[in-house]
Chain A
Amino acid sequence: MDQALLGYISRRVLQIPLLLVGISILTFLLMFLSPVDPVVAHFGLPIVQKMSDEDIMKVKDEWGLNEPLHVRYFSWISHLFQGDFGRSHIYKRPIIDIIIEKLPATLYLSFVAYGVAIVLAILAALIVISREGGLIDRIITNTSFLLYAAPSFFIALILILVFSVWLGWLPSSRMVSISVPPGFFAELADRIRHIILPAAALGMSHFALFYGYLRSSLSESIKQDYIITARAKGIDERTILIRHAFRNSLLPFVTQLGLAIPWLISGSVVIETIFAWPGIGRLTYDAAMKSDFMLLIGLTLFTSILVIIGNLLADIAYAIIDPRVRYE
């Protein structure tokens, strides 16, 4: 690996500790602003009302709530370093355990939704690009504009209305049926039936996003000089499109996916809430509804770290593909 690339990567990685400090301060401030009294959250209002002021003060002393702000911040940080994100008062369990338990469901849904959206976007962009300005191009491109403007929860409601309520083909909530049918294939079929609607609802707006990106980058690269050279050499259009134009658009597109993590999480909050999908998104919604503020803060921290990792990977991948970035 060359020096410039290594230098770029190490500079980029060195930014991360500072960013983490920033995020910890931000989340700590949010926690400080929270209207939820931690004593009430922990014991419940009826018990706190029976407690005397002295008892409450005693509890607060014990928890370090009467310390000055910076002392509280540093004690909180030292807990974080030990992997202690605090406890959720609705689940009565450590927050990090809950997040790790709920993460696979979200990853499963996102991978299916994104995988399908990416494959369809690539196919659509390839079909459209050799017929730029034609009827198919206009139909697909205008549809993608509409899908981009349509919020995922509206798409979800339409899908449920058509496929669950009117046609009765697909279930509209949960990851598996309450009574799972016996047998491997029956179970597999049950899982597939459950993921179709949420994945479609989550994937559609992302299809529009990916398609728009690929289409504009393909239509740029198809106009480049090396494409004209390839044509002049007599290479057939299909090879030019796939080997020359598409390869050059695909790489930046793949690095873009690392930047899509915030979208992925944002989308899953809404879709998991509608489809009662037991993942991180649904957890966020529940935490907000039940004012479990420590859990919300834990989720903010956790998702921020995911985003930082995604951005880092995207930047590094981009620097590997495009050497100009390394010398900035």
Chain B
Amino acid sequence: MKVSTILCIPGIKVLIIIILIAVAVPFLLPHDPNRANLEEAEQPPSLDHGCGTDKLGRDVFTRTIYGTRISLIVGLTAAVLAVSMGAGIGITAGFIGGKVDGLLMRIVDTINSPPEVILLIVLATIFPRSILTIILIISLTHWMSTSRLIRGETLSIKERPFVEAAIALGADDRYIMKRHILPNLYSILVISVTLMAAHAIMMEAMLSFLGLGIPAHMASLGNMLNQAQSDVMRGIWWTSIFPGIMLVATVWSIYRLGEGLKEYLTPHRDFLSRI
């Protein structure tokens, strides 16, 4: 793919800007995201504090940038983990078939039955709160759709002549799965990871918003919105609007990127809308 082509995908420019800000800007910021300064509490946006300060006097802009960092880290790691798990199980089920397939797919059906938010809440109350926990519980509750998709793809790739040729030449299952099935799934996996990352960011923000996600003292977008709930009732708008807009922009750009990749990498295929 040429660079100029990549830049044409909608959402990618916004995403690149967000990533650059999240990676580079913390080195340039004059404020500490967690340093409370009660003398400067609840100031509206000004030249010194571009997005104002929260009720502990912490700089909203700085915290928003740090929160975006956490969102991106959590979203991407959880998505890679979930899609890897889903792909592994999907390929195994589709390729081996028979009883293994039946068992794995029943497990998928089972875990898919409780609404994901309920399952996330239950898991979040079981395990201690940390970034790692959030990443793990999001990936544990989101691999099923990928595994179904990959299983279906594996089933159809398995029937293609090059796989038959490989079997005829004496290739074993592991070799075929690694060399013939997996490479044909790369584009779907890339799309899945992208769309999953957007969804995982939403889930992290939601859990944090409910007070069950990232530990409360850390600056994450969901935590900021949680703490801003009482501010909103008093008409203090800047503590919720700025992190909220950043969250929407991040999720929107990743979704658009995923949709764009879908059209670019797998044209003429509508089944992918299920991802």
Contact = CB atoms under 8 A, between A and B. Distances in A.
Given A22-B107, A149-B198, A308-B113, A270 B252 contact: no
Contacts of A220: 270
A300 B126 CA distance: 14
Interface string B245-266: 0011001100110000000000
Contact of B113 (A33, A293, A304): A304
A160 interface: yes
A162 to B, nearest CB: 9
A153 B225 contact: yes
A192 B117 CA distance: 28
Contacts of B115: 261-263, 265-266, 303-304, 307
A296 B251 CA distance: 29
Given A145-B256, A166-B235, A274-B229, A161 B240 contact: yes
A262 B251 CA distance: 21
Nearest to A35: B126
Contacts, number: 134
A284 B118 contact: yes
B206 interface: yes
Q: Looking at chain B, what size class is its interface with the partner chain?
A: 35 or more
A296 B125 contact: yes
Contacts of A262: 115-116
Given A266-B116, A273-B210, A288-B212, A165 B125 contact: no
Q: Classify the interface of chain B: helix, strand, loop or mixed.
A: helix
A154 B247 contact: yes
A303 B118 contact: yes
Contact of A291 (B118, B125, B251): B125
A178 interface: no
Contacts of A166: 235
Nearest to A30: B122
Contacts of B122: 30, 288, 296-297, 300
A77 interface: no
Contact of A299 (B118, B237, B244): B118
A242 interface: no
B113 A149 contact: no
A312 to B, nearest CB: 11
Interface string A21-36: 0110111001001110
A286 to B, nearest CB: 11
Interface string B95-110: 0000000000011011
Nearest to A173: B233
Contact of A269 (B107, B110, B210, B228): B210
A307 B117 contact: no
Nearest to A296: B122
A177 interface: no
A97 B168 CA distance: 62
A300 B256 CA distance: 33
Contacts of B225: 153-154, 157
A224 B149 CA distance: 27
Contact of A284 (B121, B202, B229): B121
B232 A153 contact: no
Interface of A: 15, 18-19, 22-23, 25-27, 30, 33-35, 145-146, 148-151, 153-154, 157-158, 160-161, 164-166, 172, 216, 220, 261-263, 265-266, 269-270, 273-274, 284-285, 288-289, 291, 293, 296-297, 299-300, 303-304, 307-308
Given A266-B115, A270-B209, 20 more contacts: A22-B110, A23-B114, A25-B110, A26-B111, A30-B122, A30-B123, A34-B126, A150-B252, A151-B209, A151-B248, A154-B247, A160-B232, A262-B115, A265-B118, A266-B117, A269-B117, A273-B210, A288-B124, A289-B211, A300-B119
30 contacts: A19-B109, A22-B109, A26-B110, A27-B114, A30-B126, A34-B126, A35-B126, A149-B248, A149-B251, A149-B255, A150-B248, A151-B202, A151-B209, A151-B251, A153-B206, A154-B244, A157-B225, A157-B240, A158-B241, A161-B232, A166-B235, A220-B270, A265-B117, A270-B206, A270-B210, A273-B210, A284-B118, A288-B121, A288-B212, A293-B125
Interface of B: 106-107, 109-111, 113-119, 121-126, 198, 202, 205-206, 209-212, 225, 228-229, 232-235, 237, 240-241, 244, 247-248, 251-252, 255-256, 270, 273
Q: Which 9 A-B pairs have the closest CB atoms?
A: A22-B110, A149-B252, A266-B117, A262-B115, A154-B244, A149-B251, A304-B113, A265-B115, A304-B114
